[in-house]
A and B are shown apart, each in its own frame.
Chain A
Amino acid sequence: MKTIFIEGLIACAVFITVASVLGMMRMKDPYQRMHYISPPASVSAILITIAIFLQQGMKPESFKAVFITLVLIGMNTVVTHAAARAFRIAETRNWRPQDGEEVPIHRPDEPVERKEAA
Chain B
Amino acid sequence: MNIWEIAAEVMIFTLVPLAWTTMRGDARHRLVSFLMAGVVITLLLMLLTMAFNRMPMMDVAITLALMSFGGGIVFARFFERHLP
Contact = CB atoms under 8 A, between A and B. Distances in A.
Contacts of A65: 46, 58
B53 to A, nearest CB: 10
B40 A17 contact: yes
B55 A61 contact: yes
Contact of B62 (A30, A41, A64): A64
Interface magnitude class on chain B? 35 or more
A10 B13 CA distance: 16
Interface in B15-60: 17-18, 21, 28-29, 31-33, 35-36, 39-40, 42-43, 46-47, 49-50, 55, 58-59
B79 A83 contact: yes
B74 to A, nearest CB: 10
Contacts of B84: 90
Interface magnitude class on chain A? 35 or more
Nearest to A49: B46
Contacts of B11: 14, 17-18
B31 A64 contact: no
Given A71-B65, A83-B72, 5 more contacts: A36-B36, A37-B35, A51-B50, A71-B69, A75-B65
Instruction: List the 9 closest pairs (A to B, CB-CB), nearest first.
Output: A79-B72, A90-B83, A86-B80, A82-B76, A30-B28, A75-B69, A86-B76, A21-B14, A86-B79
